[in-house]
Structure 1
Amino acid sequence: MNLERLEKLIGGDRQTVKGCNLSADEAAAVAHGKFAQHSFCLVQDWTILDLETTDEELNVLRSRGLKPVLIYALHVVHDSRGRFSTGDWVRSSFQQSYDDDGFFLTKNTVYVLLGDGNRQQITARDFLSLQ
């Protein structure tokens, strides 16, 4: 990743997005009740990443019921399956759905986006370099 792109990724070209305004305990209860068949992960300091894709990549994702959108969070508050420890960072798999109350659904997990976060575009190459 070149330094100009890294600076853009870290410091600019993003919009503020409202997330879930519930406490962590309240959000966990809602996630468990509303999405009982999924595990959930409460996160803070998050960014919704819209991946730039080719038409072919987009068609493959759509055929699987997915969108080229992921979550990158710097702070895990709680993971219902214990996959991540408090304070870990996490990135999701591709989005299945998202509602404006801060619930981001992938095939297996609901990411509860606590507080405000960001949304920005990123190339797949740059995204992979964040790991």
Structure 2
Amino acid sequence: MQADLIEDLLYGPAQMLGGSQLEDGELIQLAREEFEGQPFCIVRNWMLLDLLLAEAQEREVKKQGLQPTVLFISHAVYDSDASVPASDGFVTGYQKDFHGCFFESKDKLYILAGRGARKHVSVPAISALHENLSWPVR
């Protein structure tokens, strides 16, 4: 069952989205200049996951000024505070803001590079993913 949930989450149908088309070096330089003092991470192979929460859970998330969306990242190209190993997949905390190729969680700005995807996921599916990641939620 858990394997099926993860397989559907990672490989099932999703809405395709585009991130920044700049090269990694250009993105790093631009982010250092524009977001000085703010931790940021440039990512590729990413997926926005809209969590299907119970009403009470969704209200609790929104009370904190957040949205019930997280970002799954397969590859971190560059992390300004080196808190994320480049090769490990991980899931961010809930979305604080999202515009174009910028996804902001409570603690960090993620710059979405290249193509990605977006889909709705159940709590059991995201829990199964968490249990199988080598890196914890960020």
Q: Which runs of 5 or more structure 1 residues have no equivalent in the other structure?
A: none
The offset of 1:45, in angstroms, is 0.8
Identity of aligned pairs, percent? Answer: 27
- Quote how far apart the aligned CAs of 1:37 are: 4.4
RMSD of equivalent CA atoms: 1.7
Judged with a 3 Å threshold, the aligned counterparts in structure 2 of structure 1 residues 95 and 37 are, in CA distance, closer, same or farther, namely farther
Identify the residue that residue 20 of structure 2 maps to in structure 1: 20
Return the offset for 1:2: 4.8
Aligned length: 130
Distance 1:121 1:25, change over 3 A: same
Equivalent position of 1:56 in the other structure: 56
CA distance in 2: counterparts of 1:79 and 1:13, whole angstroms: 29
Match for residue 103 of structure 1? Answer: 102
Aligned equivalents of 2:64, 2:36: Cα separation in 1: 22
When normalised by structure 2's length, the TM-score is: 0.84
**Match in the other structure for 2:74:** 74
Q: TM-score, normalised by structure 1?
A: 0.88
Q: Which moved more, 1:45-54 or 1:28-37?
A: 28-37
Q: Partner of 2:126: helix, strand, or coil?
A: helix
Give 1:11 deviation, angstroms: 2.3
Structure 2: how far apart are the matches of 1:118 and 1:86? 20
Unaligned stretches of 5+ in structure 2? 131-138
Query: Is the contact made by 2:5 and 2:128 (CA closer than 8 Å) also made in structure 1?
Result: no
Report the Cα distance in structure 1 between the residues aligned to 2:6 and 2:70, rounded to whole angstroms.
18
Q: What is the rounded CA distance, in whole Å, between the counterparts of 2:42 and 2:50 in structure 1?
A: 20
CA distance in 2, matches of 1:61, 1:116: 28
Q: Deviations over 1:25-47 (max 9, x none)?
A: 22223333443342111111111
Asked if 2 retains the 8 angstrom alpha-carbon contact of 1:20 and 1:103, the reply is no
Partner of 2:123: 124
